[in-house]
Structure 1
Amino acid sequence: MARGDRTDEDRRSHLRPWAALPLAGPGVDRAAERRSEVGLLDHLLHDPATRVLAVREGRFRVSDAGALVLRPPEPDDATRLSVFLGEGEFPGSDGKAAYVGVVDPTAPADDWAGVRSVATTLATADASLVATLTALANWHAAHGFCPRCGAATEPAHAGWLRRCVADDSPHFPRTDPAVIMTVVDDDDRLLLARGRGFTTAGMSVLAGFVEPGESLAAAVAREVHEEVGVSVDQVQYLGDQPWPFPSSLMVGFRAHATSTALSLQDDEIESARWFTRAELVADLEAGVLAISGRLSIARRLIEEWFGGPIAAPEATLRR
């Protein structure tokens, strides 16, 4: 394990750019201006040059080499929920190829892989495609009816909108912002907590959704105080990550604790404690502590404080 014995600037340099986070890197050109083209999806799904990314129940097909499998359109795709994902270079294509996501209920999903298991190994553009289609498929599945009048809604705008069949109101995909933060005290100790839904040894940084009318920094301070009773200042933005489970954006921060006494929110937090780097290493090596896996920005935030990569086994903290 890296031992945090360098300056803060040296310790954090290996973590840049934050865009290297799984799911957070640049993807294909979304070509949003094309979404309003009349008949776009119908045209693309009849073009053998189109690359189709199929999803079923949050699972995708991945090759033995660990690459995302993209296929030409199939006749049945015209009857399936589809989304225009953008354009990009594709081997064997003449210039840019169009990418379309399709929700395929007939796909053998048992033989496919979930996002969490493949996102850290996929190429950056592939991981972005997976994150985008996962979030959009989740949104479509949950918004089949108009929140204004209760009538059915239909996909429109190349899958980036649902329109009410009764009042014609448009409804766009939503992303729920959440803050996630390291909290560090005057002795450079890190605060970790175990949520009620965590596995036995799991602990992580604090996180919570942003409330209406609230700034990101205010959400950091509120969530920390609500969950563990600690007051913070000096809230510093570090990075962000799409989190399509089902439709969040995790915005990462580092905050300075102005108090250290812990008062836990009973219905949310099972336990919490302050760690020095030596204590973190010792507990990880003893197997009495597990921290977030490398898919999540939580792991990057912990390593930003620690000063380098932490050689801890991958862990799933929630059941």
Structure 2
Amino acid sequence: MAHPRLPDLSLARQTLDRAAHRRTDPDLLPKLLADPLTRVLPVRAGQAPVAVEDGRMHLVTVPGPEWEGPEPLAFMGEDGVGGAYLAAPIDAPVEPDVPVPGVAEGTTWAGLREAGAVLDDTGAGLLTSSVALLTWHAAHPFCAKCGARSDVTLAGWERICPVCGTHHYPRTDPAVIMSVVDAADRLLLGRQAVWPPRRWSVLAGFVEPGEPLEAAVRREVLEESGVHVGDVEYLGSQPWPFPSSLMLGYRGAALTTDLRPDGEELAEARWWTRAEVVAAMADGSLLLPGPVSIARRLIEEWFGGTLEDGVDSWR
């Protein structure tokens, strides 16, 4: 792939060294918990504790020796100056009056949609990876081959079935997401059938087995909107752990402009000029995806700059 044209995507910022070579140490997690430089990030229902200082949001982590909650499940990496990060899943309701050991009562909890775009690079990368990995564990506790409950190994990065010996690894589902532009430089936006009337976005879809990414772009656009796409250009990618996607962003050149939304994935499809997007956002008749999403960045790449939300926004 060529060098991405969408740098610094909110959930694609990674500063920690994953230090995968350390995962084979069976005593890694206990040793790190005893180290005062280790930080534990509690995660429950895709959210982590956050605080705001000097106008900036940051994750609230707990020093390893002070952690009194559930045993951390995964080693997330090193910061390069001696510190390590662990992720601990919290099986408790996301309610302000439900305390979490080591986290002060009243602490705010936030997920990636709320915090992903405003956390610093380390915090955004840590929360994204932690949510993705812990969500996979929560959804795959049993062996897919024989049905037995599997054991967590490799410091959280593998599950092994004790009955049939099958190894299971964290799953990532590739999906393409694309800005489609016609010869008049108009942008194709669609509205999913399950969305309220004012919400529009670029088209997206999962890559099928054995399918090249560029072919997936052309297939998804044709299936959903009836538009044929020619040239396809890679722009960038970012994780989207809702629950386990990796969004691969493209820009496609439309060969046709007749729109035939399928009525299932897309209730409506429309070509937009830049002036129409600005006017509709200003009066609230067009709600675009929030800044944490690659969808918003694809739209702004076509637009040529940052778009300001109007009286309402889509979060």
**Both proteins in one fold, TM over 0.5:** yes
Tell me what 1:158 maps to.
155
Tell me what 2:89 maps to.
103
Which of these residues, 63, 67, 71, is aligned with residue 62 of structure 2? 71
Tell me what 2:177 maps to.
180
| Same amino acid, percent of matched pairs | 48
C-alpha RMSD of the superposition: 1.7
Structure possessing the higher relative contact order (Cα contacts under 8 Å, 6 or more residues apart): 1
Tell me what 2:218 maps to.
221
Contact 1:194 1:203 (C-alpha < 8 Å) held by counterparts: yes
Contact 2:176 2:247 (C-alpha < 8 Å) held by counterparts: yes
* 1:281 Cα deviation from its structure 2 partner: 1.4
Instruction: Please give the per-residue CA displacement for 1:36-82, whole angstroms capped at 9, x wherever unaligned.
Output: 112111211222321111111111111122111111134645x5351
Q: Structure 2: where are the runs of 5+ without partners?
A: 97-107
Contact 1:60 1:109 (C-alpha < 8 Å) held by counterparts: no
Tell me what 2:104 maps to.
none
Instruction: Please give the per-residue CA displacement for 1:148-191, whole angstroms capped at 9, x wherever unaligned.
Output: 11111111100000110201211000100100000101111110
Which of these residues, 118, 127, 131, is aligned with residue 128 of structure 2? 131
Q: Distance in 2 between matches of 1:206 and 1:272?
A: 10
- Range with greater deviation from structure 2 (174-183 or 40-49): 40-49
* 1:200 Cα deviation from its structure 2 partner: 2.3
* 1:268 Cα deviation from its structure 2 partner: 1.1
Residue 254 of structure 1 aligns to a residue whose secondary structure is strand
Tell me what 2:283 maps to.
286
Q: Distance in 2 between matches of 1:132 and 1:176?
A: 14
Which of these residues, 242, 247, 269, is aligned with residue 245 of structure 1? 242
Which of these residues, 146, 150, 154, is aligned with residue 149 of structure 1? 146
Aligned pairs for 1:49-68 within 5 A: 49-65=37-53, 66-68=57-59
Is residue 2:309 matched to residue 1:312?
yes
Tell me what 1:87 maps to.
78
Contact 2:230 2:252 (C-alpha < 8 Å) held by counterparts: yes
Tell me what 1:24 maps to.
12
Q: Distance in 1 between matches of 2:77 and 2:7?
A: 20
Instruction: Please give the per-residue CA displacement for 1:74-121, whole angstroms capped at 9, x wherever unaligned.
Output: 4645x53510000005xxxxx310111111225865441122111111
* 1:136 Cα deviation from its structure 2 partner: 0.6
* 1:126 Cα deviation from its structure 2 partner: 0.7
Tell me what 1:11 maps to.
none
Contact 1:23 1:131 (C-alpha < 8 Å) held by counterparts: yes
The TM-score with structure 2 as length reference comes to 0.90
Which of these residues, 45, 60, 66, is aligned with residue 33 of structure 2? 45
Contact 1:193 1:206 (C-alpha < 8 Å) held by counterparts: yes
The TM-score with structure 1 as length reference comes to 0.89
Tell me what 1:299 maps to.
296
Residues 144 and 225 of structure 1, relative CA distance in 2, 3 Å threshold: same
Residues 109 and 165 of structure 1, relative CA distance in 2, 3 Å threshold: farther
Contact 1:19 1:25 (C-alpha < 8 Å) held by counterparts: no
Matched pairs, number = 296
Q: Distance in 2 between matches of 1:37 and 1:173?
A: 19
Residue 61 of structure 1 aligns to a residue whose secondary structure is strand
Instruction: Please give the per-residue CA displacement for 1:128-162, whole angstroms capped at 9, x wherever unaligned.
Output: 00000000111000111111111111111000001
Q: Name the aligned partner's letter for residue 86 of structure 2.
A: V
Residues 228 and 17 of structure 1, relative CA distance in 2, 3 Å threshold: closer
Residues 124 and 17 of structure 1, relative CA distance in 2, 3 Å threshold: farther
* 1:236 Cα deviation from its structure 2 partner: 0.3
Q: Distance in 1 between matches of 2:35 and 2:92?
A: 21
Residue 288 of structure 1 aligns to a residue whose secondary structure is coil
